Chains A and B, each alone.
Chain A
């Protein structure tokens, strides 16, 4: 790629979401807006190598896209309804006699972006369609990049996006920010999509295409953008806090050969203090807004307990146990319950933890979940019940699909075996 094409690519990443959002408000349809934005990009690719990148590339792209829109209307390719809307919009602008059109646009930018996020994450779409559309429209990713990140063929993503745009048009989803009772449910869909993107990146392993871990950064950027667009929503800050703190550990999560390193075994000097500080600040914002009991804020508060502890021994386990308790009441789930058991085990001793874990042994959704026997094995080992512990680690190793994790678990089983010798020798 030449320098100018790289520059155009960079401009596109910065401007595309605002461009599409502004156009969508004018034409009332996200699909049409994206087509127009793409047309403007093609024009830039044709003209900028000759003319250079204009001083205000965003304004150039917007002006070009609007001209295309008007051309399209003249050719009668768009619905009459939209024609009227656009004419009305342009007329209203002229009547306002705003000397600086860009300034007028700027005033709308935040609202438009927020509308675009809510539309891309609309419940009429499947979750995977929401994810693809959000990355494409808000994240500025190409179809090819999304495909690489999610390890699926490019055609699949392309089709998914085309269908999503059609679904939005057919369902006549209005380009707006939901209000009142609707807002909470719709916001939780948006947060869910962003966190899903983050986790997809977070679960990437050493051999993966770099586009996968880059999803963490894309999700963080989206979260940070949303936090400024909807600053009064505590859960947005809760989610940002959670992602910043989780991302702070990414450099410490794997060893030299890519093997996973458990949180308590991580080298805390490798935790990114800049991200931790940002995460703690975001958590404070959530709490100041009265949102300390939201599901994301609670998870962030748990992550913050670990982030604040300079050594594993300094971890405030009673507080973590209490936070998991609150989370379990808010969003009951066996996985949360298992985490609560771990925290209780650390705070109040392995016997108390084991009691909670044993209560989960008949939970059908955890039947094939390797962390259940893994946690149980850990607690048993601490109680000196070594043979039982070893059996649990072996069972966990059989259940995990991750080869590196399996190695780790088998090592723990072997270590438990070694430990049994001195115990028996003593007795």
Chain B
């Protein structure tokens, strides 16, 4: 089963990650890759560098960051191929252990990729 885990740290900082943080995260990513469960992952830059493009009716608006709703801000994502939702939860728990705190929103992805006959 394929899941996307969206990491929301609950706060936003412009400080780049420390060497130590980078090393710890690299180790975790390496472990999960070796276990064959981590399919793709990436970290996002500060929301001040982002934009929001919205369409309501025919009207398109483009809003520059930073975004106000700090609690909902996504700082990174991981695509996991896990045996079950509980398996994905355990992987997210290990990730949160490494990053310290925050929340992972885990969402099953649509099945087109799975071997299950559609």
Contacts and interface: CB of A to CB of B under 8 A. Distances in A.
B97 A55 contact: yes
B71 to A, nearest CB: 25
A374 to B, nearest CB: 21
Contacts of A223: 36
Contact of A251 (B34, B39, B118): B118
With most chain A CB atoms within 10 A of its CB, the pick from B39, B84, B85, B118 is B118
B93 to A, nearest CB: 8
B37 A221 contact: yes
Q: How large is the interface on A (under 10, 10 to 19, 20 to 34, 35 or more residues)?
A: 35 or more
Given A10-B84, A55-B97, A254-B118, A221 B113 contact: no
A228 interface: yes
Contact of A225 (B35, B40, B87, B114): B35
A110 B81 CA distance: 21
B28 interface: no
A197 to B, nearest CB: 11
B29 interface: no
Interface in A237-291: 247-248, 250-254, 256, 258, 270, 272, 274-275, 278
A204 B118 CA distance: 11
Contacts of B112: 250-252, 270, 272
Interface residues of B, number: 27
A214 B91 CA distance: 19
Contacts of A254: 117-118
Interface string B94-118: 0001000000000000011111111
A270 B112 CA distance: 7
Contact of B115 (A13, A110, A201, A221): A201
Contacts of A258: 117
Nearest to A259: B117
Contacts of A221: 35-37, 81
Interface in B74-91: 79, 81, 83-87, 89-91
Interface of B: 1, 33-37, 39-40, 79, 81, 83-87, 89-91, 97, 111-118
Interface of A: 6-7, 9-11, 13-14, 55, 110, 140, 201-202, 204-206, 208, 210, 213-217, 220-225, 228-229, 247-248, 250-254, 256, 258, 270, 272, 274-275, 278
A250 B35 contact: no
Nearest to A11: B90
A206 B33 CA distance: 30
B19 to A, nearest CB: 20
A26 to B, nearest CB: 22
B113 A9 contact: no
B92 to A, nearest CB: 10
Contacts of B111: 251
A250 B97 contact: no
